[in-house]
Amino acid sequence: DTDKLKRLKTSKSSTLDGTPIELMANIELLGDVDAVKAAGAHGVGLFRSEFLFLNRSDLPSEDEQYESYKAVAEALDGKPVTIRTLDLGADKQAPWGHNVADNPALGLRAIRLCLAEPGLFQTQLRAILRASIHGQVRILIPMLVSFMELRQTLQRIDEAKDSLRRDGLKFDEGIPLGGMIEVPAAALSAGFFAEQLDFLSIGTNDLIQYTLAIDRADDSVSHLYDPLHPAVLNLIQYTLRAGAKAGKPVSVCGEMAGDPLLTRLLLGLGLRTFSMQPASLLQVKQQILKSHLEALTPMAQRLLKNTDPDKTALLLNRLNS
Ligand code: PEP
Ligand code: MG
């Protein structure tokens, strides 16, 4: 019941064998920070900054963005906030945006759009960097696929830092930079991305869409949108292992992280940092508190190798009981 759940807010987040698990929250606007605190989250693992750009006809200026990011950083009282750079396009079209292509999910979206619009990207990067002295700010890049994109992104960030130095404006010189793993090509290249970046975050909403070729917004194929498809689980595990090998933290910030029925499976695949909508956090924590990691690992492997659709529910049940 809800009272029992609420009491979990302040309890330590770790498995029965004492492994600490980090529980972060996803937010879209400053107003969501209250819910983050109410859930006792360790910080914000995904701030979807594009919501500042939606439902308006003009672009937010650098100062307006700076004020918004600063307000979130300050409201979190020193807890980390991971600001994702603009993820516009596809399912999040801005009214002033580009012509919608026939295949928007495969088109100019997220980091592709930002690299094609240097002014737009510089404005946001400067705003995030300026806000970084007001809290523990991290930058997260959506939809990375190619190595050239990563190189260009790093260059743009260096340029933004240089321009701030020239203007005599302060920022956190050591601001951590992470990349989202949302496309199979990125997951299979996770070792490279992990070496180049400070952290990774798996966006399972898009990773499922691109792995299974299922439009995440198309109801006619929603029955095929399957987080338990072994190909999806393999890509998640592969990414987690690549991060561990490079010594870089990897989180999951897609909807899978907030589904308490999948908590144990993700723990078994090696996940130690979850980021989800604040409303799911205590339920996920409840699962973690009664989980034995050692038992979960072999059971997760069984699900990952399962090709019998009749057995999936049974294997998941066993994992959760
Ligand atoms: C994801 O793709 O899983 C994700 C977290 O990003 P969004 O849902 O905003 O595309
Ligand atoms: Mg995404």
Reported as a single tens digit per residue, the pLDDT across 4-30 is 898 999 999 999 999 999 999 999 999
Kindly state if the Cβ of 149 falls inside 6 Å of ligand 1.
no
Label each residue of 289-319 as H, E or C: HCCCHHHHHHHHHHHHHCCCCCCHHHHHHHH
The pLDDT confidence band at residue 92, using thresholds 50, 70 and 90, is confident
Neighbours of 184 (CB within 10 A): 18
CA nearest 200: which of 149, 158, 238?
238
Q: Cα(90) to centroid of ligand 2, in Å?
A: 10
Asked whether the CA dihedral 26, 30, 33, 35 is positive or negative, the reply is negative
Residue 91: is its pLDDT beyond 80? no
**How many percent of the chain have pLDDT more than 70?**
98
* Cross-strand pairs, 250: 200
- Give the pLDDT score at 269: 98
Q: Which residues are annotated as a binding site?
A: 48, 84, 182, 205-206, 216
As given in the structure block, the two tokens for residue 216 are: 């995440």
Kindly state if the Cβ of 206 falls inside 6 Å of ligand 1.
yes
As given in the structure block, the two tokens for residue 221 are: 């194929």
pTM of the model: 0.97
Mean pLDDT of the chain: 95
Determine the average pLDDT of the residues in 266-277.
98
The residue whose CA has the least distance to atom 4 of ligand 1 is 203
- Give the pLDDT score at 96: 64
- Give the pLDDT score at 100: 65
Residue 97: is its pLDDT beyond 70? no
d(CA 174, CA 248): 15
Taking only the tens place, the pLDDT of each residue in 202-247 is: 999 999 999 999 999 999 999 999 999 999 999 999 999 999 999 9
For residue 273, give the 3-state DSSP assignment: strand
Could you confirm whether 253 is annotated as catalytic?
yes
Task: Respond yes or no on whether ipTM tops 0.95.
Answer: yes
Kindly state if the Cβ of 28 falls inside 6 Å of ligand 1.
no
| Those residues with Cβ within 8 angstroms of residue 313's Cβ, 6 or more apart along the chain or in another chain | none
Residue 93: is its pLDDT beyond 80? no
- Give the pLDDT score at 307: 93
Burial (0-12, 13-18, 19+ Cβ within 10 Å), 87? buried
The pLDDT confidence band at residue 103, using thresholds 50, 70 and 90, is confident
Q: Cα(67) to centroid of ligand 2, in Å?
A: 25
The pLDDT confidence band at residue 98, using thresholds 50, 70 and 90, is low
Q: Which atom of ligand 1 is nearest to the CA of 26?
A: 5
Kindly state if the Cβ of 205 falls inside 6 Å of ligand 1.
yes
Residue type at 108? L
What is the DSSP code string of 159-189? HHHHHHHHTT----TT--EEEEE-SHHHHHT
Given the residues 235, 253, 256, 282, the one annotated as active site: 253
Determine the average pLDDT of the residues in 97-116.
85
Task: Give the residue, out of 82, 180, 239, with the most ligand 1 atoms within 8 A of its beta carbon, to mutate for a pocket test.
Answer: 180
Task: Give the residue, out of 83, 140, 253, 273, with the most ligand 1 atoms within 8 A of its beta carbon, to mutate for a pocket test.
Answer: 253
